[in-house]
């Protein structure tokens, strides 16, 4: 073999090796990366899936405060229901909500509808002079409005149900 042929063959061999490295280019079949393993990793225990029979976890019930002000006589009533159902305020000092009322109050107070009502736009002037102003606070959620002859039952039905439940319990 002639010496220049050996140099050319060696140069071609070196160029072929360099092109199959990190710089890109085609890899030779004997240098191909191994195929991904078809073995699956050891199975982990399945996570429990929620079933239709289990209710979603309830949000914590921090208690409820209802404030009613205004009216012709200028009332200022405040009622508070603690998480255990103790009702205080007005003539309702040291009363306890009936278990069914407490269950209903918890459901209303933690319902997403109440948080949605808190985000509604409240008019600066409701248009009535002797209406009652209501404020219902549950944790960080506060819903307020002025009742001008029954409009709150339509504008804020969840808040209104809470107000009615607590006022009825306080009066009994």
Average pLDDT over residues 40-55: 45
Structure tokens at 141: 């959620």
Residues 79, 94: contact at Cβ < 8 Å? no
CA atoms within 13 A on the CB side of 144: 12
**115-121: which pairs have CB atoms within 8 A and are 24 or more residues apart?**
115/141, 117/143, 117/155, 117/156, 117/157, 117/158, 117/159, 118/142, 118/143, 120/155, 120/156
Which residues on adjacent β-strands are paired with residue 86? 96
Instruction: Please give the pLDDT value at position 47.
Output: 46
Cα–Cα dist 134/69, whole Å: 7
**Domain ranges (residues) in the chain:** 64-171
What confidence score (pLDDT) does residue 158 get? 96
Highest mean pLDDT (candidates 51-60, 81-90, 141-150): 81-90
- Is 104 buried (19+), middle (13-18) or exposed (0-12) by CB count in 10 A? middle
Quick: pLDDT tens for 150-171.
788 888 999 999 999 999 998 8
| Residue carrying structure tokens 């009535």 | 128
Judge whether 118 and 143 are in contact, CB under 8 Å: yes
Average pLDDT for the chain: 74
pLDDT for position 60: 81
Q: pTM to 2 decimals?
A: 0.63
Count the helices and strands in the chain (H runs, E runs).
Answer: 5, 6
- Region 117-135: mean pLDDT is 80
Q: How confident is the model at residue 78 (pLDDT cuts 50, 70, 90)?
A: very high
57 pLDDT band, cuts 50/70/90, is very low
> pLDDT value at position 35?
53
Non-local (6+) Cβ contacts of 146 within 8 A are 70, 126, 128, 131, 132, 133, 134, 152
Q: What is the pLDDT of residues 3-21, one digit of tens each?
A: 433 334 444 344 444 444 4
């Amino acid at each position: 073999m002639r010496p220049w042929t050996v140099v050319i063959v060696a140069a071609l061999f070196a160029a072929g090796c360099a092109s199959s490295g990190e710089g890109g280019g085609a890899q030779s079949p004997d240098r191909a990366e191994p195929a991904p393993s078809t073995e699956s990793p050891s199975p982990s225990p399945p996570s429990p899936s929620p079933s239709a029979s289990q209710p979603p976890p309830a949000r914590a019930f921090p208690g409820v405060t209802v404030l009613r002000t205004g009216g012709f006589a200028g009332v200022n009533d405040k009622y508070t229901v603690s998480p255990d159902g103790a009702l205080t305020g007005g003539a309702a000092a040291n009363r306890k909500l009936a278990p069914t009322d407490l269950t209903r109050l918890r459901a209303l107070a933690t319902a997403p509808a109440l948080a949605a009502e808190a985000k509604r736009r409240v008019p600066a002037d409701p248009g009535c002079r002797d209406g009652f102003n209501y404020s219902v606070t549950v944790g960080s959620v506060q819903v307020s409005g002025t009742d001008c002859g029954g409009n709150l039952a339509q504008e804020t039905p969840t808040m209104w149900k809470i107000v009615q439940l607590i006022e009825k319990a306080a009066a009994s």
